[in-house]
Amino acid sequence: MDFLVTGLVIAAIVAGVARWLYSRGSARESPTIPVAGPPHRGETDVVARPVETGHEAAVQAVEHREHYYVALRHQALHRSRAELGLVKPSKPTKPWGVLMETSFENAHVTVLALSDGNASIYLSTGGGFIGGMGHQSIRQAAVNMVRVAGTLGPQMTPTKTFPLPERGRTIFYVLTDAGVRTGSATDDELRQQRHALAPLFFAGQGVITQYRLLSEKK
């Protein structure tokens, strides 16, 4: 699957990411909740989908995966630039991080990119990738996503709340020293490049693509 095909709907992209991650039999489960930042510099940490049996175990597995996702997302949205060890931007409004979030049926996907080249993908249904700085292609994709976010300031508005998108929409959260700014668009507007935020959407898909290509090489 090519995650950058222009005519591909975002729902199909999300489903493809989920299928791709779940099909990795060699993926390992992280023993602790990973931190979205420096602890994973230089490595790609694959978070495996837990395997459980029985109804009660299945319910516990779902709760575990949801907790995992919520914790990762909270860290991504609330940790400061200083805590992440990122270089201070030239001005407070210049982005040092950006999140792209999409919904598909009952699942959510979060793509996080930081200015130092860290990039992560979180799935609410379990699984994901943390870090990626050890790979030049991922670093470049992450840095590019943050760079593109910096060109779209007029399209964003300040926010202190961080809802997940409804199905059929994608939300962006841009992290700066001056606060978080947000913008959203429908899937159709983004995939057809009929919205000003489309470049940021495709930059986010670049992060997904580089992780996919790296996974296929391994």
pLDDT of residue 213: 92
Question: Contact at 8 Å (CB) between 46 and 29?
Answer: no
Mean pLDDT of the chain: 79
pLDDT of residue 150: 97
Q: How confident is the model at residue 35 (pLDDT cuts 50, 70, 90)?
A: very low
The span from the CA of 59 to the CA of 126, in Å, is 13
Q: How far does the chain reach from its first CA to its final CA, in angstroms?
A: 17
For residue 195, the 8-state DSSP code is S
pLDDT of residue 54: 54
The answer to whether residue 46 scores a pLDDT higher than 60 is no
Instruction: Indicate whether this model's pTM tops 0.95.
Output: no
The span from the CA of 103 to the CA of 108, in Å, is 4
For residue range 186-209, what is the model confidence (pLDDT) as tens digits? 999 999 999 999 999 999 999 999
pLDDT of residue 61: 52
Q: How confident is the model at residue 29 (pLDDT cuts 50, 70, 90)?
A: very low
pLDDT of residue 16: 54
Sign of CA dihedral 22, 26, 30, 35: negative
Q: Using the CB atoms, write b or e for 155-182: b if 16+ within 10 Å.
A: bbeeeeebeebeeebbbbbbbbbeebbb
What are the start-end ranges of the E strands in 89-151? 97-104, 107-114, 119-123, 128-131
Mean pLDDT of 155-184: 97
The span from the CA of 203 to the CA of 150, in Å, is 12
Percent of the chain with pLDDT over 90: 60
